[in-house]
Structure 1
Amino acid sequence: MRRLAASAFIVVLGLTTGTAFAGDYNGLILDQIKQMPKGGRYSVSRFAKIRLQSSAHFESGKFFILPSSASPSFCSGATYLVFIRAVEALRARGELRLDFATLEQLIIRDQHDGEGIWGRWNANGPGTARLFHELGLGQNFDNFDQAKPGDFMKIFWSRQVGKSEHGHSTIFLGRENRFGVEYVRYWSSNIPSGYGEKSVPRSKIAYAIFSRLQTPSNLARISGAPSVDSYLASLLRTRSSIAEAGTKCGL
């Protein structure tokens, strides 16, 4: 009987320990948004990509996130800068330790879609959610009722995923009712004005996948992941589906 009780205690302790590392970082994400510039303009030009790289300067083992409000920007770059800011904030507090090899993986270079961390985040389809699932960074879900301000949200304006998709990488801020119409609020780099908040009728969103940062220390798992995610890499030239995207993200 004592052996059974001890075993039960170990199981409970194991479950508790396993979940203790999962935190709630939504407030931290929202704090980083407040530090981001406002305005500029939306662009996916080569110049905008160069400006993004310079905005996330990595030196002496630390990221310096210095985007300019006058610079062109695009949605996945905007949300990724907030993500890196959150990582650096946790490191500064002593709440997150990542080795140099992992930090180097976070650097924005000219990665192709699906390549490394940034290439996954920036890919067509459910890039961020796929990265979260692959590394175990946090929970993915597609139910608006579960969403909290500070969740990363990939919006699909149509049911197309991949080659012909129309999507938007954002950070969810909440829902509101305007004269009987439900609106969804989010932050990103938006057309045409760049960095800032925007609201759209919920009916305009065909589908959305939410990703909640819970275990940022699992970024270290990138060392054991394939250098290129073949599913995300394929989405530039092939079509996927909402169902397949969900499966690839653990939904």
Structure 2
Amino acid sequence: MLAAITALVLAPALASSHAIAEPRCAGIDYNAKVMEIIRALPTGGGYSRGNSFVSPKFQTHNIGGGNWELRVYDGFPSHCTSATYALFGHLVALLHNGGKISLTADQLRWLEVSWRTPDGAALVDGQDPWWIFNANGAGAAALIKHTGIGVSFRDDKLAEARPGDFLKIFWNGNVGASEQGHQVVYTGRRQVGGGEMICFWGSQKQGTRKRNGRRQPLYFPAREGGKVHTGYGEVCRPRGDIKHMVFSRITCMEQLSAGLADMRARADVNGEGPLRMPRPFEDTYLMSLRKKSSDHATLDSAYDIRPDASSLASVGSLQSEPTQ
């Protein structure tokens, strides 16, 4: 049934009386910006979760006059969180370098993919921006919550999701150490071979799985005549493969500087020892997910993830809240 693409239909942003609130601080459609960046990125580059993995490089440059510029270089081979974090970095660079937002040099450097603290201690999932984004659970939702730059929500019927939303897919029903998931950017839904597909951009590697009694590809091309690339690329996956979805939408990147400053203020900046090195910001819930399992209700509560709008008919529209 899924051997060929028979129809290709992008899911429109559907109007709803329970629509996700979208406070665009400067009137900017950040979903459109994300999709523009995706179209400019390379395809492929390889996929790895092992020793050959190369993290994206964020470089901060002094361009004079007290101004700093961010340059982002994609790392290959990549994996799902490195690809989507690189995309987030490209968005930050586009806005900061273009004068739409303003980050300090320290804040730009804090966004880099760092493996150790200044005193040499290893960083782990749940510490500082990259390792929050990389963690089990819903890393994009967590970073958005901590910085106040957007809103996260569930939308099983895809009534509110829009191309350009960050998306955490759960292949099983678990959260944390026992979860199986994929972090991507939602691009739409399509009919492929008579079945509904969820389509997204990210970094992935083709494989097979058993469906309807026979082996089929894990991923399907996003367009008729297209192919599935190893590494960066847009693909589709049967809706039936997906157990849970958490969408995260950037609505107010102008809040990023204040959000990062708040995260730094909440970290133990006094540090320890004679050098008084700054300590990393720690999300203790995400750190616990490295070795423990949790549940979706706790995940939603931790990061203000709104329930599916279709379940709120008697509650009213979803509203965004300031970060705590």
TM-score bracket relative to the smaller structure: 0.7 to 0.9
| C-alpha contact 2:166 2:247 (8 A) present in aligned 1 | yes
| C-alpha contact 2:147 2:260 (8 A) present in aligned 1 | yes
Does 2:106 correspond to 1:52? no
Cα deviation, 1:107-152, whole Å, max 9, x if unaligned, reads 1111311111111100111111011122211011111221100000
Aligned with 1:239 (options 290, 293, 296):
293
| C-alpha contact 2:24 2:251 (8 A) present in aligned 1 | no
| C-alpha contact 1:42 1:191 (8 A) present in aligned 2 | yes
2-structure distance, mates of 1:46, 1:213: 32
| C-alpha contact 2:74 2:83 (8 A) present in aligned 1 | no
Residue 40 to residue 47, structure 1, CA distance change in 2 (3 Å): same
Q: Highest CA radius of gyration, 1 or 2?
A: 2
| C-alpha contact 2:70 2:97 (8 A) present in aligned 1 | no
Name 1:21's counterpart in structure 2: 25
Does 2:131 correspond to 1:119? yes
Q: How far apart are 1:218 and its partner, in Å?
A: 2.1
| C-alpha contact 2:58 2:111 (8 A) present in aligned 1 | no
Cα deviation, 1:12-32, whole Å, max 9, x if unaligned, reads xxxxxx946164201110111
Q: Which runs of 4+ in 1 moved over 6 A?
A: none
2-structure distance, mates of 1:175, 1:38: 21
Aligned with 2:284 (options 223, 230, 246):
230
| C-alpha contact 2:101 2:254 (8 A) present in aligned 1 | yes
Structure 2 unaligned regions, length at least 5: 1-21, 63-67, 116-122, 207-229, 268-280, 306-324
Q: How far apart are 1:67 and its partner, in Å?
A: 2.4
1-structure distance, mates of 2:79, 2:149: 23
SS of 1:125 mapped into structure 2: coil
Does 2:241 correspond to 1:194? no
| C-alpha contact 2:58 2:109 (8 A) present in aligned 1 | no
1-structure distance, mates of 2:160, 2:100: 26
RMSD over aligned Cα atoms? 1.8
Deviates more, 1:147-156 or 1:216-225: 216-225
2-structure distance, mates of 1:222, 1:199: 34
Name 1:3's counterpart in structure 2: none
Which amino acid in structure 1 is aligned with residue 55 of structure 2?
Answer: L
1-structure distance, mates of 2:166, 2:77: 21
| C-alpha contact 1:98 1:217 (8 A) present in aligned 2 | no
Structure 1 unaligned regions, length at least 5: 1-17
Name 2:186's counterpart in structure 1: 172
1-structure distance, mates of 2:159, 2:37: 24
| C-alpha contact 1:102 1:219 (8 A) present in aligned 2 | no
Does 2:64 correspond to 1:64? no
How many matched pairs?
229
